[in-house]
Amino acid sequence: MLKLFDMKTLAAPKCSVLLLESLKEVENYFLGVDSKNPLAFDYETTGLAYDAIPLGLSLCQVTSDTSVFIPYNYFFTKGLESEGIAKLCNKYFKGKKLIAHNAKYDSMIGLMNGFSDSSMEIYADTLVMVHLYDSSLDKNLEQRVFQDFKYRKQSFSEICGKKWNKIDWDKEGDSLLEMLAGYSGEDTFWTCRLYQKYSIMLDEQLWKIHDKIELPNIKILRDAKIRGVLMDIPLLKQMGRQLDSYLEKIESDIYSEAGCVFNLNSPKQKQEVFFQKMKLPIVTTTGKGSPSTDSGTFDTWAEQGIRVGELLSEYSTLNKLNSGYVRAIPELVDNKNVLRGDINSCGTDTGRCSSSNPNLQNQPNSDQFPVRKAFIPRAGYVFINRDYSQLELRILAELSRDKNLLDVFKQGGDPHSDVAHRLGISRSAAKTVNFGVIYGLGPDNLARKLDISSKEASKIIDHDYVKAYPGVYSWKQRVQQYAKKHYYVRNYFGRIRRLPGVVSGSNYEYFSALRKAVNTTIQGTGADIVKLATVKTVESLRKNGLDAHFLLQVHDELLFEVREDQAILAEQIIINGMETAVKFSIPLLTDGKIILNWSEMKDSDIVSVPYRFSYVLSGLI
């Protein structure tokens, strides 16, 4: 056992780091751990991939001033065998209150290196705790330590003088071991301090969300990354070639409309062409006061029937699709064409999951270039895709207790048709109004979307809708009054979003905060329903012994990969799990089907897999 640092200069006073040099020392450490005292663990690895090579494991008890570091023998002469470390951790982790900062990653590395799932029962995740207390706070460990404790924790690059991805661990490992141990020891030491700080800042409701919603999702999202989703790379490459050709054609049409050739990636040149040469209307301005040439401007021009705006809007959408998905995904898959993106449960202020590598939440819709078609099940498997039906409007009805809106759902009606009937407008306009109520769409924006005057839009929002659904109006008023009094709002489950703009902001920030108060209460409730549904369905599938795997979550939609012969039973379990995730006075319903690629979910001409054979025989398809 080597004592590396007294930590009076490297970390907080009283903290030290011990390098454990034998499995016997590791076992002795575990024998001294108090099971009632939470134990922080943190992996250092060669990268962030699911199969990154572990460099070492750091441990620290919450009430202890000493961290220990267990090096692996992949790169270090003093390192210990992976099998031996796993055996001891599987034995002594059981019954311990394990905590981590981003437990999804650390438990994933443990699982990939011989740790049993049953031995890694997470007691608390400090990243989640910070997010639940205030979703706007920076959750990076170094930043959190600095902001909460005024201590500047150095990154490893600052300590060793090299970026992580530039280190040759084979050649430099031994020379960097003690620095790595000190750095990792700080990680667990400060994770313990964060736990102590935030454990008393979360109230009962937030702890319940942490324990019942967020912690179960950690393992589910971890397992989804490990499994990944198979991609049809040849299809994407073919789509990429078609997109390149199509984009060239649109680009040529843009130049024809403009009467000149210019750089579509140059804001300055676009400003000169659009506003000086073509005299197009200015929609918004940049922070420096120049006319904006962003995609929103193009969309507005397109809505106004300006041909070059239509072309620019299409070009912007398809270029984003090409660069962000069609061209990007083949670079992200492994050698078996499996994509392992990241679903982050703490990625948004409302509680919704975010997605990265690639971001599947904001994937542009394109019937001509359906990227979802490249998401395919493995041989012998099918996809089951279920999507909540009008979830946010059902939540609005439940929370507001508006009689008319509740009656629509209790009677199996359509809320958009109901609004259309009561307000004397078309169903498509009613749909815009309904979501305008949720997202705080102002009269000017509604007027532009419906191609009516601002006066008519104001009447719809402030009079007609209020008269038709008085309970919704009263509920919105209560939510906004609560936000102004407490500077935050809670969703149905008690999740908080802090809204400082209601007291300290400009007029824009004030009204934006009030819109967020309503939107967050609804959308945040939906987010937690989806998370609860994910937990319930995964647990039910596992209890029934099915070969079924959760893969992706996009807003209110869940995608599973299931063995083909178990698909019908699995679908019923998934439907039940989603529709009974929470008990409302009105039913929660889902749409979906069993499919052979992800794009089939949105294609109304394609029926669920179990029905296709009979349809073929009957001549229907």
Neighbours of 279 (CB within 10 A): 7
CATH class of 233-336: mainly alpha
Please tell me the predicted confidence (pLDDT) of residue 465.
92
Q: What is the pLDDT of residue 527?
A: 97
Topology (CATH) of 2-202:
Nucleotidyltransferase; domain 5 (3.30.420)
Residue ranges of E strands in 205-358: 229-231, 338-339, 342-344, 354-356
**What pLDDT sits at residue 288?**
84
Strand positions, DSSP E, 290-374: 338-339, 342-344, 354-356
Provide the 3-class DSSP secondary structure of residue 44: strand
What are the residue ranges spanned by the domains of the chain? 2-202, 233-336, 371-390+528-618, 393-527
In Å, what is the CA distance from 103 to each residue of 215, 220, 312, 582? 9, 12, 43, 26
Question: Which SS3 state, helix, strand or coil, does residue 115 take?
Answer: coil
Which pLDDT score is estimated for 14? 64
> Residue written as tokens 């809106």?
405
Q: What tens digit of pLDDT does each residue of 128-168 get?
A: 999 999 999 999 999 999 999 999 999 999 999 999 889 99
**Residue 290: what pLDDT?**
87
Extract the tokens encoding 406.
Answer: 């509740």
Q: What is the pLDDT of residue 363?
A: 84
Q: Which residues of the chain have pLDDT under 70?
A: 1-14, 613-621
**Cα–Cα distance between 128 and 99 in angstroms, integer?**
11
pLDDT for 495 equals 97
pTM value is 0.93
DSSP 598: G
pLDDT for the residue numbered 436: 86
Domain 371-390+528-618 has CATH 3.30.70.370: yes
Confidence at residue 613, expressed as pLDDT on a 0 to 100 scale: 61
- What's residue 451's pLDDT? 84
Predicted pLDDT of residue 117: 94
Query: What's the pLDDT at 3?
Result: 60
> What is the residue-wise DSSP string for 469-494?
-HHHHHHHHHHHHHHHHHSEEE-TT-
pLDDT score of 286: 85
CATH number of 393-527: 1.10.150.20
**What length does the chain have?**
621
